[in-house]
Amino acid sequence: MGNIKVTVNHNRCVGSQLCMHFLPDVFDLDGNGQAIVCGLDDTDVTTLVQTAEQCPQCAIKVEDESTGEVLFPPAELGM
């Protein structure tokens, strides 16, 4: 696995907390009730992508920094 980067777009996040429930070690809430990434530890990339998929707002982006590839959201969602 390359360098995986996970970001939450706060112009999209509505604070559904789903990411936090699916991956409590990776996601937390900030003082505004929006999701933040608190650390990826050894979470595998498939789990990260599956969790990003659960976001109703497509606010979570998963990228492979070493290749620049966006692993989520897929291009066909037009996000």
Partner 1 sequence: MTTYLVKDDLMAPEVIADPHAYYRALRETDPVHWNERWKGWVLTGYKEVVDVLRDAENFSSDRMGYLASELTQEEQESIAPIFHVLKYWMVFRDPPEHTVLRMLLNKLFTPVAIERYRPMVRKIVQKTLDKVVASGKMELIRDFAYEVPMTVILELIGAPDLDRDKIKEWSEAIGVFFFIKADEPRRREIACEGINSMVEYIKPLIEHRRENPGIDLISLLISAEEAGQINYNDVIATCVLLVFGGHETTMNLIANGTLALMEHPEQWEKLRNDPKLLKKGVEELLRYDGSVKSTVRWAKADVMVGGKQIKKGERLLVSLSGANRDPLQFDSPDDLDVTRDPNLHVAFAHGIHVCLGASLARMEVEEAFAGLINRISCPVLEEESYLNYYPSVVHRALKNLPIRFDQIK
Amino acid at 23: L
Contact 36, 15 (CB under 8 A): no
What region does 5 belong to: left with phi over 0, alpha with psi -120 to 50, or beta? beta
12 binds partner 1 (CB under 8 A): yes
Show the binding pattern over residues 43-62: x = contacts partner 1 (CB under 8 A), - = does not.
----------xxxxxx----
- Residue 77 binds partner 1 (CB under 8 A): yes
Contact set with partner 1 (CB under 8 A): 11-12, 14-18, 21-22, 32-34, 53-58, 73-74, 76-78
